Amino acid sequence: MPSKLTKVALVVGSVLGVAMSSMASAQAEVISMPSHEKSFASPIGGDIMVGSRDETINRIAPLNMVGTTREAFVTTTAYGQINAAATGKLKVGYHVGCAVTIGTGTLGATPDLIIPIPLNGPNGPNGPVGPNGPNGNNYPNQPNFPNFPNYPNRPNWPNWPNANWNNGNGGNGNGNNGNGNNGNGNNVNNVPILVNPNPVVTLNLQAGEVAEVELAEKEMIPGKLIQIVVRDFHIKVDTCTGPVTLRQFAYVYATSPEVDDSGAVFGDPTWL
């Protein structure tokens, strides 16, 4: 049966193995994403349009070489137009989702103290109160001692000082682990105490979440095509085990004295 230390090592090894396999799959790779565009009739009068194009995602191996970190460089062009008597803003960014977040961990121990009982010690099986000791049921040839359990004045039994008691010949049945009344043999008080540390590693895994990463925004001019060009924007996700998903967004907000309006397009999701 594996020890607790072995079990901990297996658990930690499994977590690290998953992390390293994720890291191995995150080699440099550039993918091109499809374009998206939408137009909306606006109650402001006229219409508003929003879109994105030329999106590429360059997946790269993390600098720290840890599988729970993901990195990518993203490039994209977002654009929009308000064909109405209104002002507004164009905003572009990414939604980043992590399946499982690794929170703060702890490393500790729940030690066990193991105190061995010597065979010949006071509480051992061969000691005075043990089953094999002078007072026990299994003492050699006990059935041949007349009325041994009830024998009066047992400490004065003939030759009792020579009885084998506590790894020595105890004097008067009370020898202190040695010969004679005072005893000079092995001292059971020097028996070493063993410690099993029982190490414990705790990882606080939390449900994944989705974060919004804004790349840029720009004021819009009525009737003009407004663009935001982003090249090699660095996206980094830490302490995430399992898939990391990216999805681009582009928003147009239009504002007039009477109406606030908006529109959006979303890119295709992809993983890091």
Domains and CATH numbers, the chain: 27-105+204-271 (2.60.40.1650), 119-202 (no CATH)
Percent of the chain with pLDDT over 70: 56
Rounded Cα distance between 136 and 148, Å, is 10
Q: Are residues 79 and 225 in contact, defined by beta-carbon separation less than 8 angstroms?
A: yes
Q: What is the mean pLDDT of the chain?
A: 74
- Chain segment 124-181, per-residue pLDDT in tens: 555 555 555 555 555 554 544 444 444 445 554 454 444 443 443 434 444 344 444 4
Separation CA 47–CA 254 (nearest Å): 10
Helix, strand, or coil here: 272?
coil
Higher pLDDT, 265 or 126: 265
Higher pLDDT, 241 or 205: 241
Structure confidence at residue 111 (pLDDT): 72
Is the predicted pLDDT of residue 17 greater than 60, yes or no? no
Distance CA 40, CA 220 (A): 16
Query: Distance (Å, rounded) from C-alpha 86 to C-alpha 38?
Result: 18
The CB density around residue 171, as the number of other CB atoms within 10 Å, is: 19
Q: What is the pLDDT of residue 130?
A: 56
Least confident residue range of 62-66, 104-108, 139-143, 205-209: 139-143
The pLDDT score that the predictor gives to residue 13 is 43
Q: What is residue 61's predicted lDDT score, i.e. its pLDDT?
A: 94
pLDDT tens digits, residue range 35-57? Answer: 999 999 999 999 999 999 999 99
